[in-house]
Amino acid sequence: MTRKGPLAINYEALWQEGMKDWQGQMPERMVNDQLEEQFWSQSIARKKIGQTDPYAAQIFEEIKKYIQPHHSVVEIGPGWGNYTFPLADYVRELTCVDSSNSILSYLQQCLQDKNHVSYVHAKWEQLADNELKAHDIVVGVNCFYRMYEIKAALAHMNRLAKKRAIIGMTTGPIQPHNEVLHEKYGYDIKYPRRDYIEFLNLLYEMDIYADCHIVPLERTYEYETLDQLVTTQSKKILNTDFKRSHVEESLAPFIEEKNGRYYYRHDFHAALVSWQPK
């Protein structure tokens, strides 16, 4: 059911508009499968075998509250295994669905002793009805960024989850120095264009009342030089004529130098949107 009425909003259209860049164009990586495959191939090449992001363990502990060891689980877009590795150690059956051959090959290499893990090379939102059996749990974290037909993606989650569907998305607040750059110096900033709230509204359009749990997190970026830090943390400024001194001043309260290296710590969150399939 799609909700109608004078206050109805097309949240899928808003999601699709949010996929565009700040010039109103669809980035090539959003539509070019070869470019996306190249990105993941290069990313995997830089990873140590089994390496995951530090914050992922905390998110997994929250996801784990919905999952039992006897459950079968589908993971959408596993990436380099932030949640795949702990899931493989925890559940009876795990199926990884990803559009990248590089990702699936990497995970198979890492998990070659896990016979209960299987792999499906497919775009989630384009799955055929008979391409994948239903599992107890369907989970996807930070994997929806290229999914234009987002309501089809959510409908597949609802159809294939027998007990629970779970969406995870890391979200703001944006790095604090960017707020200083905007408020004090008036620079235009690349604020996030899509957020977890759109999943709640998209599901509401589908007559699904989802739960939402916010997980507070902390991230530390490490740099070899101050120049590297400043250059990297200038990338969200839309203005081409910004002053480097403004960036350095805005960053100063948030960075720490230790043993010749520079550290930038900031708070962010993960939103877990989940529902019982209907």
Which stretches of the chain drop beneath a pLDDT of 50? none
Over the chain, what HEC string results? Answer: CCCCCCCCCCHHHHHHHHCCCCCCCCCHHHHCHHHHHHHHHHHHHCCCCCCCCCCHHHHHHHHHHHCCCCCEEEEECCCCCCCHHHHHCCCCEEEEEECCHHHHHHHHHHCCCCCCEEEEECCHHHCCCCCCCCEEEEEEECCCCCCCCHHHHHHHHHHHEEEEEEEEEEECCCCHHHHHHHHHHCCCECCCCCCCHHHHHHHHHCCCCCEEEEEEEEEEEEECCHHHHHHHCCCCECCCCCCHHHHHHHHHHHEEEECCEEEEEEEEEEEEEEECCC
pLDDT at 173 (0 to 100): 81
What local confidence, expressed as pLDDT, does residue 44 receive? 93
pLDDT score, position 124: 96
What is the reported pLDDT for 192? Answer: 87
Question: pTM for this structure?
Answer: 0.92
The structural domains of the chain, ordered by start, are: 11-178+190-218+268-275 (3.40.50.150)
Q: What is the separation of C-alpha 205 from the centre of its chain, rounded to a whole number of angstroms?
A: 22
pLDDT at residue 7 in the model: 55
pLDDT computed for residue 130 by the predictor: 86
The pLDDT, as a whole number, for residue 9 is 85
User: 195 and 169 in contact (C-beta within 8 Å)?
Assistant: yes
For tokens 């990803």, the residue is: 98
pLDDT of amino acid 37: 97
